[in-house]
Structure 1
Amino acid sequence: MQTRDDIFHTLRDALVELFELDADRVTLESNLYQDLEIDSIDAVDLIDHIKRQTGKKIAAEEFKSVRTVGDVVEAVYRLVQAAA
Protein backbone atom coordinates (compact mmCIF):
# COMPACT_ATOMS: atom_id res chain seq x y z
CA MET A 1 0.00 0.00 0.00
CA GLN A 2 2.24 2.79 -1.19
CA THR A 3 0.44 4.96 -3.74
CA ARG A 4 -2.72 6.90 -3.07
CA ASP A 5 -4.42 4.74 -5.71
CA ASP A 6 -3.37 1.55 -3.92
CA ILE A 7 -4.61 2.98 -0.63
CA PHE A 8 -7.95 3.96 -2.19
CA HIS A 9 -8.54 0.49 -3.63
CA THR A 10 -7.65 -1.18 -0.34
CA LEU A 11 -9.86 1.26 1.57
CA ARG A 12 -12.76 0.78 -0.83
CA ASP A 13 -12.49 -2.99 -0.45
CA ALA A 14 -12.46 -2.59 3.34
CA LEU A 15 -15.53 -0.34 3.31
CA VAL A 16 -17.39 -2.81 1.09
CA GLU A 17 -16.39 -5.74 3.30
CA LEU A 18 -16.85 -4.12 6.71
CA PHE A 19 -20.02 -2.13 6.07
CA GLU A 20 -21.61 -4.03 3.16
CA LEU A 21 -21.50 -0.99 0.90
CA ASP A 22 -21.86 -1.06 -2.86
CA ALA A 23 -18.39 -0.45 -4.31
CA ASP A 24 -19.88 2.04 -6.79
CA ARG A 25 -20.90 4.29 -3.88
CA VAL A 26 -17.31 4.54 -2.61
CA THR A 27 -15.47 7.33 -4.40
CA LEU A 28 -12.79 9.77 -3.24
CA GLU A 29 -15.52 12.40 -2.89
CA SER A 30 -17.90 10.20 -0.85
CA ASN A 31 -18.64 11.68 2.56
CA LEU A 32 -18.15 8.96 5.16
CA TYR A 33 -20.99 10.11 7.37
CA GLN A 34 -23.57 11.46 4.92
CA ASP A 35 -23.04 9.44 1.74
CA LEU A 36 -21.85 6.17 3.24
CA GLU A 37 -23.74 6.42 6.56
CA ILE A 38 -20.75 5.48 8.69
CA ASP A 39 -21.24 6.28 12.36
CA SER A 40 -18.68 6.77 15.12
CA ILE A 41 -18.61 3.06 16.01
CA ASP A 42 -18.00 2.20 12.35
CA ALA A 43 -15.21 4.79 12.25
CA VAL A 44 -13.47 3.01 15.15
CA ASP A 45 -13.79 -0.29 13.26
CA LEU A 46 -12.30 1.38 10.20
CA ILE A 47 -9.37 2.80 12.19
CA ASP A 48 -8.75 -0.68 13.61
CA HIS A 49 -8.85 -2.21 10.13
CA ILE A 50 -6.36 0.38 8.84
CA LYS A 51 -4.07 -0.43 11.77
CA ARG A 52 -4.16 -4.13 10.91
CA GLN A 53 -3.40 -3.39 7.25
CA THR A 54 -0.59 -0.89 7.78
CA GLY A 55 0.75 -1.76 11.21
CA LYS A 56 0.24 1.92 12.09
CA LYS A 57 -2.62 3.57 13.91
CA ILE A 58 -4.22 6.80 12.77
CA ALA A 59 -4.58 9.07 15.78
CA ALA A 60 -8.19 9.56 16.81
CA GLU A 61 -7.62 13.32 16.76
CA GLU A 62 -6.50 13.17 13.14
CA PHE A 63 -9.42 10.94 12.19
CA LYS A 64 -11.87 13.49 13.61
CA SER A 65 -10.91 15.86 10.79
CA VAL A 66 -11.62 13.41 7.96
CA ARG A 67 -14.91 13.75 6.15
CA THR A 68 -14.45 12.02 2.80
CA VAL A 69 -12.90 8.81 1.56
CA GLY A 70 -10.22 10.99 -0.03
CA ASP A 71 -9.42 12.45 3.40
CA VAL A 72 -8.87 8.94 4.76
CA VAL A 73 -6.65 8.09 1.78
CA GLU A 74 -4.52 11.18 2.50
CA ALA A 75 -4.30 10.37 6.22
CA VAL A 76 -3.18 6.80 5.50
CA TYR A 77 -0.76 8.01 2.82
CA ARG A 78 0.87 10.41 5.29
CA LEU A 79 1.02 7.62 7.85
CA VAL A 80 2.78 5.13 5.57
CA GLN A 81 5.10 7.79 4.15
CA ALA A 82 6.17 8.87 7.63
CA ALA A 83 7.04 5.26 8.39
CA ALA A 84 9.03 4.76 5.18
Structure 2
Amino acid sequence: MNKEVIIEKINDFLIDEFEVEAEDLSPEANLKEALELDSLDFVDLVVAVEANFGVKLVGEDFIKILTLQDFYDLIENKLS
Protein backbone atom coordinates (compact mmCIF):
# COMPACT_ATOMS: atom_id res chain seq x y z
CA MET A 1 0.00 0.00 0.00
CA ASN A 2 1.52 3.32 -1.01
CA LYS A 3 1.66 6.46 1.11
CA GLU A 4 -1.09 8.26 -0.82
CA VAL A 5 -3.53 5.40 -0.20
CA ILE A 6 -2.61 5.34 3.50
CA ILE A 7 -3.19 9.09 3.82
CA GLU A 8 -6.50 8.88 1.95
CA LYS A 9 -7.79 6.01 4.13
CA ILE A 10 -6.75 7.76 7.36
CA ASN A 11 -8.34 11.03 6.28
CA ASP A 12 -11.52 9.22 5.24
CA PHE A 13 -12.03 7.54 8.61
CA LEU A 14 -11.12 10.71 10.51
CA ILE A 15 -13.82 12.55 8.55
CA ASP A 16 -16.41 9.76 8.72
CA GLU A 17 -15.88 8.36 12.21
CA PHE A 18 -14.43 11.31 14.11
CA GLU A 19 -16.35 14.09 12.35
CA VAL A 20 -13.13 15.99 11.60
CA GLU A 21 -13.50 18.69 8.97
CA ALA A 22 -11.53 17.94 5.80
CA GLU A 23 -9.88 21.37 5.88
CA ASP A 24 -8.41 20.53 9.33
CA LEU A 25 -6.51 17.55 7.91
CA SER A 26 -3.14 19.04 7.08
CA PRO A 27 0.05 17.04 7.67
CA GLU A 28 1.31 19.62 10.18
CA ALA A 29 -1.94 19.58 12.22
CA ASN A 30 -1.42 18.57 15.84
CA LEU A 31 -3.19 15.23 16.08
CA LYS A 32 -4.59 15.80 19.54
CA GLU A 33 -5.32 19.53 19.60
CA ALA A 34 -6.22 20.52 16.05
CA LEU A 35 -8.36 17.45 15.55
CA GLU A 36 -9.84 17.75 19.06
CA LEU A 37 -9.21 14.10 19.90
CA ASP A 38 -9.60 13.09 23.54
CA SER A 39 -8.40 9.91 25.23
CA LEU A 40 -11.52 7.96 24.24
CA ASP A 41 -11.04 9.05 20.64
CA PHE A 42 -7.55 7.56 20.72
CA VAL A 43 -9.06 4.20 21.69
CA ASP A 44 -11.47 4.52 18.77
CA LEU A 45 -8.54 5.53 16.57
CA VAL A 46 -6.70 2.31 17.49
CA VAL A 47 -9.81 0.29 16.59
CA ALA A 48 -10.22 2.19 13.29
CA VAL A 49 -6.58 1.59 12.35
CA GLU A 50 -6.90 -2.11 13.05
CA ALA A 51 -10.12 -2.33 11.01
CA ASN A 52 -8.73 -0.35 8.06
CA PHE A 53 -5.13 -1.55 8.00
CA GLY A 54 -4.99 -4.76 10.03
CA VAL A 55 -2.27 -3.46 12.36
CA LYS A 56 -2.42 -3.12 16.12
CA LEU A 57 -1.29 0.04 17.86
CA VAL A 58 -0.32 0.30 21.51
CA GLY A 59 0.08 3.30 23.80
CA GLU A 60 3.82 3.47 23.20
CA ASP A 61 3.16 4.01 19.49
CA PHE A 62 1.62 7.39 20.28
CA ILE A 63 4.46 8.73 22.44
CA LYS A 64 6.25 10.43 19.54
CA ILE A 65 3.12 11.23 17.53
CA LEU A 66 2.50 14.96 17.50
CA THR A 67 1.24 15.73 14.01
CA LEU A 68 -0.96 14.08 11.49
CA GLN A 69 2.18 13.51 9.37
CA ASP A 70 3.71 11.58 12.29
CA PHE A 71 0.58 9.44 12.36
CA TYR A 72 0.71 8.79 8.59
CA ASP A 73 4.37 7.78 8.97
CA LEU A 74 3.56 5.48 11.91
CA ILE A 75 0.97 3.57 9.89
CA GLU A 76 3.25 3.41 6.87
CA ASN A 77 6.05 1.97 9.05
CA LYS A 78 3.73 -0.55 10.67
CA LEU A 79 2.63 -1.76 7.23
CA SER A 80 6.16 -2.19 5.90
Q: Same fold (TM over 0.5)?
A: yes
Mark the runs of 5 or more structure 2 residues left unpaired by the alignment.
none
| Rounded Cα–Cα distance in structure 2 between residues aligned with 1:70 and 1:48 | 19
Superposed structure 1 runs of 4+ greater than 2 Å apart = none
2:10 corresponds in structure 1 to 11
Mark the runs of 5 or more structure 1 residues left unpaired by the alignment.
none
| Rounded Cα–Cα distance in structure 2 between residues aligned with 1:59 and 1:78 | 14
Aligned-residue sequence identity (percent) comes to 29
Q: What is the aligned residue count?
A: 80
Q: Is the 8 A contact 1:58 1:76 kept in 2?
A: no
1:1-84 mapped onto 2 (5 Å cutoff):
2-81=1-80
Query: What TM-score results when the alignment is normalised by the length of structure 1?
Result: 0.87
| Rounded Cα–Cα distance in structure 1 between residues aligned with 2:58 and 2:18 | 21
Query: What TM-score results when the alignment is normalised by the length of structure 2?
Result: 0.90
Deviations 1:23-43 (A, max 9, x none): 111111111111111111101
